[in-house]
Every structure is written in C-alpha cells, then in structure tokens.
C-alpha cells in the first residue's frame, strides 16, 4: 500500500477534447455564466515538497500555466497520446528558456511515438532551433520514480486503447477510461482521493458515463472522489452536483484539493 504523502492537486482543466463551451454551441451549459461550467482540456498538477508534476499537457497548457502562475515544473507524465492530452507540449520551451533547464517527460513507447508524429522537429538529429528541450523516459505498467516520487501506473482502457492512470501516495487519477480490469482496480483501493472520468450521463463507447464512474467509486470506496473529463452533455455543474452522493464532486477548472 503506498504511503500517505502531503500534496496539493490543482485541476488545470476538466473538460473533454472539445472543451466547454463548445465552439458554435448554444446549449444551456455552453451559455452558462457559472465559471464551473467553463472547462479547458483535462490536466492536473500535483505539488509536493516544492515540486510540481503535470499529468498531461493539452492545447490549453500555456494558459493553464499562466492562470495558475506556475514558474517551474519538475516533470510531465502522460496518460496517452491523444491530441487533447499532448498538444501543448511545444509550450514547455518557455520553461527551457526562462529556467535554462531540460524538462523530464515520462510516457509509454506508444505515447512517445504519438508525440513524434505530432512534433517531429523535437526529435531531429541536429537540434531544431526553438524546439522544446525534453528528456524522454519510457514507462511501463510498473512502479517508476520521478524526482524521488513514486508513481504507480494503473492500466485502463479507452475503448481499445491502453491508457495509464496513476497513483501517487493516496491520490489516484484516472482519465479517458471505459474499462478497468479487476487486477488494476485493486491498485485504487485505499485511496484518500480518487479522480475518475465521466463524459456524460448516457453510455459512451470509450468513456465512463456518470453512473458507471459512480459504480467504480462505490467499489473502490475512496474518502472523496472527483469527476473529470466532462463534456457539455453532463449538464450544468450546479444541477448535477445536487444529485451526487455527499463524497462525490464534479471537479472544475482551478479547483485545489489538499491530500494527506
């Protein structure tokens, strides 16, 4: 069982690949004036002992860093290679310039291949001027260490695509999942806080629905659970939250949770 660690988790973004509001949509969620209904692409930041670890950096990464006044990052850890989770990688070069440092990136072989297709200029033999300076490290479905901090991968499936969730201490983070095998679900047991995705209320081929996410939460029994990777189909934050069990919360952009 992972040991308890004091940390602060910031939800940098809690939306699906389109974000919320969706371009050209005039539904009541997209037109909502509630800031909790404004959702950038999904990502979290874990802060421990003065270090900041980012899980996924999608197309809103630059703004998310500015909004949260982040002046340094220790590493980026990727869940999978879909564009809404990797497209902001070029903006890491700001940290290269300002801090004169190379940023560590932890990802599976498959994710690194996706990054190579998206950003071929990062991988040229002769350094391409202006390309982000990154130190890639391959991860598999086994414990790995990032700057003395242990990350335990949790393999989930996004339809047929293998995606990594992660457990750090008593914090567990799952995104873009529609299935978790029983042996992987065991890794979530004992979590103080569980974050899990739910795209909408109705069933979807590659994401948990809200009821399916709640089923996993009830099985794992964390102290608190937060729902992320939400589309506009989920409904208005205020209305959905009223009908959730008392230990389950819709996450929202900028939400900060202290753990441990």
- The number of distinct structural domains making up the chain is 1
CATH of the domain at 19: 3.60.15.10
Range of the domain at 122: 7-259
State residue 167's pLDDT score. 98
Instruction: Give the model's pLDDT for residue 127.
Output: 78
Q: Is residue 249 part of a domain?
A: yes
Is the residue at 145 inside a domain? yes
Q: What integer pLDDT is reported at residue 128 of this predicted model?
A: 78
Give the pLDDT score at 227: 98
Could you give the C-alpha distances from 142 to 51, 108, 139, 145, 184, in angstroms and in order? 22, 11, 8, 10, 11
Distance (Å, rounded) from C-alpha 236 to C-alpha 195?
19
- Separation between Cα atoms, residue 213 and residue 90, nearest integer Å: 32
- Specify the pLDDT at position 1: 60
* Inside any domain, residue 1: no
How far is Cα 143 from Cα 169, in angstroms, rounded to an integer? 12
Contact 27, 5 (CB under 8 A): no
The verdict on residue 40 lying in a domain is: yes
Q: What CA–CA distance (Å, rounded) separates 147 from 127?
A: 26
Is 114 part of any domain?
yes
Q: Tens-of-pLDDT digits for all 260 residues of the chain?
A: 677 899 999 999 999 999 999 999 999 999 999 999 999 999 999 999 999 999 999 999 999 999 999 999 999 999 999 999 999 999 999 999 999 999 999 999 999 999 999 999 999 988 777 899 999 999 999 999 999 999 999 999 999 999 999 999 999 999 999 999 999 999 999 999 999 999 999 999 999 999 999 999 999 999 999 999 999 999 999 999 999 999 999 999 999 999 99
Question: For residues 80 and 163, is the Cβ–Cβ distance under 8 A?
Answer: yes
Look at residue 2 and tell me if it is in a domain. Answer: no
Q: Give CB contacts under 8 A, 24+ apart, made by 237-242.
A: 237/32, 237/34, 237/36, 237/37, 238/34, 238/36, 240/210
Backbone CA torsion sign across 90, 91, 97, 103: negative
Q: Which of 252, 254, 189 is nearest to 217 (CA)?
A: 189
């Amino acid at each position: 069982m992972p040991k308890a660690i004091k940390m602060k988790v910031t939800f940098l973004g809690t939306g699906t690949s389109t974000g919320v509001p969706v371009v050209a949509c005039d539904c009541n969620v997209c037109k909502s004036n509630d800031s909790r209904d404004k959702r950038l692409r999904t990502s979290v930041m874990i802060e421990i002992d003065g270090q900041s670890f980012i899980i996924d950096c999608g197309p809103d990464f630059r703004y998310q860093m500015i909004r949260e006044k982040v002046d340094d990052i220790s590493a980026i850890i990727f869940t999978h290679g879909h564009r809404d989770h990797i497209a902001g990688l070029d903006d890491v070069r700001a940290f290269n310039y300002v801090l004169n440092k190379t940023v560590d990136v932890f990802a599976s072989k498959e994710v690194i291949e996706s990054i190579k297709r998206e950003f071929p200029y990062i991988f040229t033999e002769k350094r391409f001027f202006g390309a982000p300076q990154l130190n890639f490290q391959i991860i598999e479905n086994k414990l790995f260490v990032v700057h003395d901090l242990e990350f335990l991968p949790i393999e989930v499936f996004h339809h047929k695509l293998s995606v990594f969730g992660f457990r750090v201490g008593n914090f567990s983070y799952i995104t873009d999942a529609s299935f978790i095998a029983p042996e992987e679900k065991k890794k979530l047991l004992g979590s103080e806080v569980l974050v899990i995705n739910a795209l909408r209320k109705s069933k979807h081929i590659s994401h948990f629905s809200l009821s399916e996410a709640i089923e996993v939460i009830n099985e794992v029994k964390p102290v608190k659970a937060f729902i992320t990777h939400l589309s506009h189909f989920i409904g208005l934050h205020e209305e959905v939250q009223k009908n959730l069990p008392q230990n389950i919360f819709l996450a929202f952009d900028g939400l900060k949770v202290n753990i441990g």
